[in-house]
Amino acid sequence: MERELVIGGFYRHFKNKLYQVKGIAYHSETKEKMVVYQALYGDYSLYVRPYDMFMSEVDHVKYPDVKQIYRFEQVFLDGSQSQENLRGDLDSVSQQDYSENRTDEEDGRRDQKKDGILDEQVDSRLIRFLDTDTYQEKLKYLETIKDNLDDKIIDAMAASLDTEVPQGKIYDRFVSLKKVISAHAKYECTRLRNK
C-alpha cells in the first residue's frame, strides 16, 4: 500500500523534529516532484526535498538504532495519537547526532546547533495552539497566553494559518494575529451554519 502525503499534515523526521507539509512543487527544469515543508522549531524555515526522498524509508543499515520506519512519518495533533507520547517525543529531541551525508536540512546549521544557537524543541504553546479544533478555541487559547507571547511564537502561529503578522510591538502583533483568527472564526461559523 502506497503512502499518501497529506498537505497541511504534521510529520516527524526520524531525527525527532516536527515539520508541517506546505505543498507540492515541481523543479522548473527537471519537473521533479518536490515536497515543501516547514520546520516547527528554531527559525521555522521552509525546506524543499524530492518527493521520493521525503516518502522513503530510513536507511536502517546506516542508522541501526532508529525505530521509525520512514524518513518522515505523519503525526496527528488532533487526539488520534496520544498527545503525551507526541509531546514526550518532541520534548526529548534526540541527543544522538545522526550524521547523514549532508542531505538533511539541519546539516547546514550543524555548527550553530553545536554552539547552542538553535532551539531544537517545539514550543509547547505552539503545540497547544495547533491542538485546538476550531478558530474560536484558538482565540480563547491566544487570550490565555497573551502576556506570555514573543515574536517567535507569533510568527509560528501565523505561519500555521498561512499568514504573516507585521513586525512591531508584541501587543500590536498579538492584536493583528487575533484579527486574523477572528476573521477565520467568523467564516467558520457562517460555513457551519450553511451546512
CATH label of the domain that carries residue 85: 2.30.30.320
Give every CB contact of residue 40 below 8 A, 6+ residues apart in sequence: 10, 17, 18, 19, 20, 122, 126, 156
**Helices vs strands, H then E, count in the chain:** 7, 5
pLDDT, residue 106, reads: 44
* 61 falls within a domain: yes
Q: Are residues 67 and 29 in the same domain?
A: yes
Total-model pTM: 0.49
79 and 18 within one domain:
yes
Amino acid at 107: D
Say whether pLDDT at 131 is over 70: yes
Whether 5 is in a domain gets the answer no
Do 21 and 97 share a structural domain? yes
Distance in angstroms (rounded) separating the CA atoms of residues 125 and 153: 8
**40: closest CA among 63, 22, 66, 58?**
22
Mean pLDDT is highest, among 16-25, 101-110, 158-167, for 16-25
Distance from C-alpha of 120 to C-alpha of 46, rounded to nearest angstrom: 15
Identify the band that residue 82 occupies on the pLDDT scale cut at 50, 70 and 90: very low
Q: Which triple of cell numbers denotes residue 130?
A: 495547533
Domain identity same for 130 and 107: no
Residue 169 within any structural domain of the chain: yes
Instruction: List the domain range (segments joined by +) for residue 39.
Output: 10-114
In a domain, 27, yes or no: yes
* Number of compact structural domains in the chain: 2
| Antiparallel, parallel or unpaired: β 10-13 and 18-26 | antiparallel
Is residue 23 classed as helix, strand or coil in its secondary structure?
strand
- The answer to the question of residue 119 being in a domain is no
pLDDT (mean) for 5-24: 93
Residue where the block lists cell 488520534: 80
